[in-house]
Amino acid sequence: MAGVVATAEACDSNAALLASGDLRVLQPVFQIYGQCRSFSGPVVTLKVFEDNVLVRELLETRGEGKVLVIDGGGSMRCALVGGNLGQLAHNNGWSGIVVNGCIRDVDEINGCGIGVRALGSHPLKSNKKGHGDKHVPVYIAGSFIRDGEWLYADSDGILVSKSELSI
């Protein structure tokens, strides 16, 4: 895949951005799922708690290579993304999904052509009340992440940048 930014290389060549906080490294708390081990794109943020109605709502829109970053409050009590939503994200052109929480249907998600990061898996589905906030700053894995920033993920980790990094 041409044009992929390797996170280790990006860290090595962007010391000034790291020092200023314009480039941030998320704490290594995420498990890797999905067929795409590397993915990147502009961030769309979502803050929910044990409720995935807004997750579906966003993934039903055209992803256009974006990355959905879901702050699920770190809940380990239910899943926010399952196989159907993983396939929906892939079909609608999302580059990836980062979940500060759990996923389920791991085998189905691993068959989807997108990248997914989550804290772990849990077999219980979430609530369906529609509570949460779209396009708000979220605090995940030691860093604030804002709508419109850029996220880069690969096997080494996840970076968030205020603007698109040049390769």
The per-residue pLDDT for 167 is 65
| Contacts of 49 by beta carbon, 8 Å cutoff, 6+ apart | 72, 73, 75, 131, 132
Q: Quickly state the pLDDT bin for 3 (edges 50, 70, 90).
A: low
Q: How far is CA 8 from CA 37, 93, 96, 116, 165, in A?
A: 14, 26, 19, 19, 13
Going 55 to 56 to 59 to 61, the CA torsion angle's sign is negative
Q: Tell me the pLDDT band of 1, cut-offs 50, 70 and 90.
A: very low
Q: What is the pLDDT of residue 108?
A: 97
- Mean pLDDT (the chain) is 96
User: Residue 128: its pLDDT value, please?
Assistant: 95
Give the per-residue pLDDT at 2.
Answer: 43
Q: Residues 70-108, buried b or exposed e (16+ Cβ, 10 A)?
A: bbbbebeebbbbbbebbbbbbebebbbbbbbbbbbbbeb
What is the DSSP pairing of strand 96-103 with strand 79-81? parallel
Q: What is the pLDDT of residues 108-130, one digit of tens each?
A: 999 999 999 999 999 999 999 99
Helix (H, G, I), strand (E, B) or coil at 163: coil
Between CA 64 and CA 162 the distance in angstroms is 19
The pLDDT of residue 4 is 78
- In this predicted structure, the answer to whether residue 59 has a pLDDT above a threshold of 50 is yes
Q: Could you read off the pLDDT of 15-54 as tens digits, one per residue? A: 999 999 999 999 999 999 999 999 999 999 999 999 999 9
The single residue listed with the structure tokens 């080494």 is 156
pTM: 0.96
Q: Take residue 141 and report the two structure tokens written for it.
A: 């894995």
Q: Concatenated DSSP letters for 87-105? A: HHHHHTT--EEEEEEEE--
Q: What is the pLDDT of residue 166?
A: 80
Q: What is the pLDDT of residue 126?
A: 97
